[in-house]
Amino acid sequence: MLAYRDGDARAFEALYGRHRARLFRFVLRSVKERGVAEELFQDVWMRVIEARGRYAPKARFTTWLYSIAHNRLIDHWRRKGLSVVDLENVDVEGSSPNPESQAEARQSLQRFAKALEALPPVQREAFLLHEEAGMSVAEIAQATGAGEEAAKSRLRYAVAKLKAAVDDG
């Protein structure tokens, strides 16, 4: 980001390439509609671009990037309800050609998605930051503006609920 701030356009390409997919999934699973997710995703990157002149490394770039995404999502959540992307078009990967097994796997995955959707927003966000951005509890706390204890608690509850959904399936 420092190189991009200093005028190196290729540095942005590298950053974007490294974070685009994970950030997109983080946003996509935080909102329901794909179109909205694309809009928010672009908005986050535009804020990164606009802030390049003021960028000063106080944390990892990843933490900074997801804190921008967090703030953007907060704005969105205030206006809309909370939900994750539906699973209508999710392909269930499996080696079994058996239609019954595939249907079971699909149902299991849908249960997991429902459980993810049912999480309180702060817990779901903590989980997505952990899974998609690979953040530690301290980094989740920093990106979301929460205390470390709160971040740790949110993540622990989220994982426990999702684990129950996995075991149930």
Partner 1 sequence: MADERDPKVSQRYRELGTEEPPRHVDEAMLAASRRAVHVHPAPLVPPTGRRRWYFPVAAAAIIMLSVAVTWHMQLERPDPDGYLASAPAPEASRAAPPEQKIEMQAAPQAAPPVAASRMEERAREPTTEPPEKWLERIAELRKEGRHEQADKALEAFRRAYPGYKLPESVLKK
Residue whose C-alpha is closest to residue 103's, from 115, 116, 92: 92
Report the nearest approach of partner 1 to the CB of residue 159 (Å).
5
Query: Judged by CB under 8 A, which stretch of 1-9, 55-63, 65-73, 141-149 contacts partner 1?
Result: 1-9
Reference 138, options 130, 27, 162, 107; nearest CA is: 130
State the nearest-atom distance from the C-beta of 53 to partner 1, in Å.
Answer: 7
Question: At a CB cut-off of 8 Å and minimum separation 6, what does 111 contact?
Answer: 165, 168, 169
Complex with partner 1: residue 9 or 78, whichever CB lies closer? 9
Q: Which of 70/158 has CB closer to partner 1?
A: 158
Tell the smallest beta-carbon distance from residue 122 to partner 1 (Å): 15
Q: Per the structure block, which two tokens stand in for 131?
A: 């899974």
163 binds partner 1 (CB under 8 A): yes
**Residue 17 is which amino acid?**
G
**Tokens, residue 19:** 């974070």
Q: How far is the CB of 29 from partner 1 (least distance, A)?
A: 7
Angle between helices 34-50 and 61-79 (to 10 degrees): 130
Tokens of 2: 């420092």
- Owner of token pair 């429902």: 114
Q: State the DSSP code for 92.
A: P
Residue 135 zone, left/alpha/beta (φ > 0; ψ -120 to 50; rest): beta
Instruction: Convert residues 17-56 into a mask of x (bound to partner 1 by CB under 8 A) and - (unbound).
Output: ---xx--xx--xx--------x--xx--xx--xx-xx---
Task: Count residues near partner 1 (CB under 8 A).
Answer: 46
Answer whether 127's CB lies under 8 Å from 155's CB: yes
Considering only residues 66-105, where is the footprint of partner 1 by CB under 8 A?
Answer: 85, 87, 90-93
Site residues (vs partner 1, CB under 8 A): 4, 7-9, 12-13, 16, 20-21, 24-25, 28-29, 38, 41-42, 45-46, 49-50, 52-53, 85, 87, 90-93, 108-109, 112-113, 116, 130-131, 136-137, 152, 155-156, 159, 162-163, 165-167
